Copies of this chain bind each other. A is one copy, B any other.
Amino acid sequence: MTEDAALLLIATSELDSNLYYATRFLAPDPFVFLQVGARTILLMSDLEIDRARAQARVDEVLSLSEYEGKARQRWPSPHLIDTVGLLLEANGVQAVTVPSTFPLEYGDRLREKGIRVATRPDPFFPERLIKSEEEIAAIEETQRHTEAALDAALALLRESRIKGDQVLWRGKPLSVEDLKKVINVSLMENDCVAQHTIVACGLDGVDPHNQGAGPIRPHESIVFDIFPRSSRTCYFADMTRTVVKGKASDRLRRMYDAVLAAQLRGIELVRDGGSGQAIHEEVARVLKARGFETGPVDGRMQGFFHGTGHGVGLDIHEPPRISRVGPVLKAGQVVTVEPGLYYSRWGAVRIEDLVVVEAGGCRNLTRASKLELLEL
């Protein structure tokens, strides 16, 4: 990568957060972003050009169809990259830096034209990791809606009652699907979209990405992991809470206390200059010190076998990681702290908050209670 290479993105901003970050323009079809020095340029279809000119935070929005017209004067049926080649030519660009995810076909075609193409490892825009006050406010707003959605689900659990090995709500067995619907509708009411919400009861929760299904059973852990995106601001939030309908076993309660202690210790250590790797190792140490081992049992990983946290912003998973390979944290980053314990004999516990890294500590954006294993 040469320092003076232009930046080139060709992507769909609804799916590619770098492109949305660079332009603040949401569109459902791919478009071209070029940055030459400090100057930012879009190449936009007729369908989007008016809206892009009104909304996109760039210096210039050029007409894709005009450039395609020029390309047709040279090639009978030009490829998009032929057209992009003309844009690069017009701007004197001979070398571009692209994201590591830039489409290989486009890279190959640019190189065939003699353009030097280098990928930049994530984060493509390092400044994306440091959130502005406006961005933190957007994340916090999504977080408030996430908490309202959890509250709606907990209200359902409170209303329901235990009969034998069933949990009944309005006379019928309460299901994970009932709880997810309440959560997702509550989020939708606040213009947030939740995909893949996890409501995992009992042994379902032992697989951390199992989204859960079927009837809620009493006296078992129920893991709620809710991570919606605001349709208005595009910023995510992320929160996990573990509760029990009925009475938790002593074992489950000890697991909960260990996870909570590890999580609080992790949060204590989050600060500007703190090492993601050191935080993760300390969180793992707290769990192990309380007797909760990690490793394969019957061919299946048990204990604490995922990272402690990850960045949250325009993507639900973004740098930095707080994990075995976690880098040093910097003020303004927004990260989760979410240890968990998973045992196929006892069930699962995970507790997750969202915090802003600050000098000398962090600010917790999460308000939902976690002071004890809630028995509803």
Contacts and interface: CB of A to CB of B under 8 A. Distances in A.
Interface stretch (A33-41, A135-143, A189-197): A189-197
Categorize the interface residue count of chain A.
35 or more
Interface in A297-321: 300-301, 305-306, 316-317
A317 B105 CA distance: 20
B306 A47 contact: yes
A195 B12 CA distance: 14
Interface string A202-221: 00000111100000000000
Nearest to A27: B209
A14 interface: yes
A48 interface: yes
A12 to B, nearest CB: 9
A26 interface: yes
A195 B231 contact: yes
A49 B108 CA distance: 34
Interface stretch (A94-102, A284-292, A353-361): A94-102
A184 interface: yes
A371 interface: no
Contacts of A103: 100-104, 119
Given A107-B108, A181-B189, A185-B189, 11 more contacts: A14-B196, A47-B301, A47-B306, A48-B209, A49-B301, A98-B104, A100-B104, A101-B103, A102-B103, A103-B104, A188-B188
